[in-house]
Structure 1
Amino acid sequence: MWVPAKFRSKVLAEPVRRPQLIEHSSDKNKNKNLETRPQQHPILSAQQHSISQELHGKKPAVFKMPVDYSKWDALELSDDSDVEVHPNVDKRSFIRAKQNQIHQQRFERKNKIETYKYERVVNDGLLKRINALLAALESHSADADKRSPDELMFMAIMETAGDSPNEAPPPPPAGVHTQEKEQPTYSKMMAALVDQVKAKVDEDKPENRFAAYVEDVKSHKAKVEDLQRQLLEELDSLEKEEGRKITSENIHTGFDSSHVTKGKAEDKSTGEAKKSTQKAQTVEVLNPQALGKPLLTKKSDGQQSSGADADADEPMGGDDDDEDEVEASELGKKFASIKAGDYRTCLEFISQHPEVVAEKETDGLLVLAFNSAIDGAYELARQCVHQALLLQYCRALGRDGVRMFFKRITTPGHQAQKVFFDDVNSTFARIKSRAKEIEKQRAQEEAEGTGGVEQIQLHAVDPNTTINIQIPPENSSDPAEIKAKELFNAFPPGLQRALESGSLDEVNKVLGKMSVEEAEEIVAQLSEGGMLSVEEQIIDATTEEGQKALKEFEEQEKAAQQEQAAEQAALSKYSDDPE
């Protein structure tokens, strides 16, 4: 602020007045040191008072938050680009060489650490055996005057050799002692130590040979212990050096967090109820090998399997882990029940249950639409097609495009709305047309009497032959019969009882309850195991039964000839047609 000259001296000479606290006379003794510390204004805040004190020279206003960067001092960078080199030295080559040097030193340091750790483990095992040898020698000290020292040494070696359960040391880690093809066993180490002790005693020729043996073994023990101490010191030094620097290998996940959107509690309870129902339906069977056969699966098209449904007396439970047929799930049916055109509810449902956008849900709704069209429920079929294609479009657009898709199809006159409804109409038209074709085909089959379920039945082609059933024996050494018995044991109990009865009609009843594919596989296994044999039938015409069978055979031959003649006449009728 500019001040005129005539007032300048007066302004500068006048001291700045500071607010003073009024001290009560009764508080003089309590606040003796009040004048020595700065007084805070009763109205100003603590920060304003601190700034005021700084302006008047009382104390500095310091506002600092210390940040400790010392932990990054140990960071080791192998490619530091800020390094300064001599002008005559290529900087890139220098950095590359420095990087290789750091990596090589790090590798050598780790290899030494692993080597020292392994050597300490081996030396610990050797020390145990040296201590055992010393204990065995000292136990024979009373016999030193009676027996030869060499004999006592041999006895001590034999005693300690039987006490060691693991003769071979542990295998070295990767990269440790690679120059040695085979690591010597502890027995070889102890044998070499005893040879050295004997050579030393033979060279010195002491008076008390046994005592010399003991002293030399103790000296070897002291050497191994001193080596262990040196290895420990070197290991501690290398580990400190390794931990002094922060490298990329020290990087690890400090903390991690994830969030999963869960469904409603009612959906969870429904899933648990399904699991409990499936577990409750599992029963124990007498023939567990049959459960592993692919023939024991239940089909969804109404056909019977060769397992539980082919054997009504003994129901068996199959595994639920096999691949199921495509069908609409409970979640998909809930989505299909939403009225077509209520896109707000559809969007909320997809947001709460994102798993409904899966491809299997779309396929399940289309199957439900097809079945509804066959039953004549065309409105329900159209509703399922609409919801299925809605899920298909949402899945194709991805998570981010779902809201944009709903916004566009709800906009009147938008191109996306036209494309979507055209797709719905064409898909529903195809399903409806195919359903009508199936209805027409079924009606035609019923009129002609050719409808029903296709079955596999066993009959002899030649009237002069019969099909006999042979059950493989229980105890047999023939490999073919053993294999046939394994096939027989894998059959359902109902089929086993039918085969044991020896009646072809009973076998046909069981085969009639199976699907065509399963029945064909059963027949193939019966032929493979030799359980079906075709034999020529001998008719005795002298008996009443033989004459009756002969008469039936002649009638069958006559009918076959008439049928063949009718076919030839039908062919000759159209022989002159140029088309």
Structure 2
Amino acid sequence: MPLNYSKWDQLELSDDSDIEEHPNVDKKSMIRWKQRDIHEKREARKRHIAQLNSELSLNAVLRPRIESILTGVTQKGVDHYRAVQRRLKESPSDEKPNTGAANQPTYDMMISQLLQDVFRESAWIVQGAKVESRSGNVIWEGKKVDENSGQPNWAEDATIPDGTKDELTKALEERLKWHLDELKKRDGQVEKEIEQEEREQAKKITSEGIKEGWDVSSVAKPKPSPLDDKPKTKKTEKVETIEVLNPGAGSSSTPAAPSAPAESDDEEDFGPLTPSARAFANIPVGDFEKSFEFIKQDASVLTESTHDSLLAEAFDAERKGEKELAKRCVHQSLLVNYCRQLGRDGVGLFFQKMIARNPKSVGMFNEDFQKTYQRISQRTAEMIAEEAAAGEREQIQLVAEDPSMTIGFNLPDGPPPDDLRLEGEGTEEMDIEQVKAFLQRKWEIFQGFPEKLKVALKTESLDEVNKVLGKMKVAEAEEVVELMQEGGMLSFSEKGVRDMTQ
């Protein structure tokens, strides 16, 4: 059998003795320059591949969150969109990509910026802006809408006019779908770039690809598989005792206190999803090929703690209304459970049947998946109903500390007039411009309140105002009370009011 020496054509030698140097440059310098050029290009290609893989990982986290927001807007309208924006602003998560950069933004910061841009574009579309068919950019008065374009006046208000809600909801859906399509296109481009770079990298054999064989007399032990873990057993402690003829003779009359038992290790705590488990949870439902490839690359997700964390994440997602994420978590938790029950030798056979769409296997799995998700959905609804019935939601209420006091509201009739005059004792030293500024600020605060709150304030009834405050979130209600105090709309001193949490 003839030997094939063609692979040696791929060798990339940085110290080739046959290198042709420039007449004015010595041979050693040319060899060093050639070596440095080879290593710099090789390292640049590695960094580029790592950067492209990081971009794919980031998009895999952002995409399901944007899809969840799109689903919420389709079902609940623009109010859901504004609620998500408010949540990201008031209680953002500090979870972010593990890039090691000093100023790396979090996932919530990136989603918040995207939602801000989409809202601005959608508002101008409602105003009459056009969307370019080729680029997808929103154009208003011949210019692209961006952060320098601002927003229409009606979009700056806290509440959206009823006449524009339906149009704005439709525009938000279209812009979110466009951004998702762009994200999908970008993933395809990145995957092609990675393939191209890896092909270029494989064209040359380097010292990093050379492995020595038959040079070690020992065999490395295989890493333990997550499927080989054994259930924990209770720890037993050996106590050495000395048997005596008269047990009570040498001890005091007070019996010795028994030693405190060691903490039990029977219960295993599970925490939030690891980055690998979160990426595993982002695989679409029914994509068994991708799940199998992920497990072959990273088997660390096949642990009992990952299974429990996925189910806990499913409960949280279902509670937040993110049903697609909840279904993915349930689906992947079942895959982990099946793999753990079948053991290392049965994982490949299981996925082989699922990828081949074996009717019996797929039917059994889907039935288990539907039942598990229905249980989680039903239990989540019951928990929300129980909390609502028990009145566990926090509320902010205005209550006077002194029962003899009467709480009133000093509401503005409108902006201050241009010919404002100050009359009465003590007004001589007052600055009329400062008074105008205060009255203008008071009017702006009142106009910024939600419509239901303004109606309740105009009734000057404390019960009506407290009803509206009770339906708000705690942070929003606290901000409203602070603004009312800032505008001087409460007719009592600050120490006479307290926020009571129910």
Q: Structure 1-normalised TM-score? A: 0.31
Q: Structure 2-normalised TM-score? A: 0.35
Max Rg structure:
1
The structure showing larger relative contact order (alpha-carbon pairs under 8 Å, at least 6 residues apart) is 2
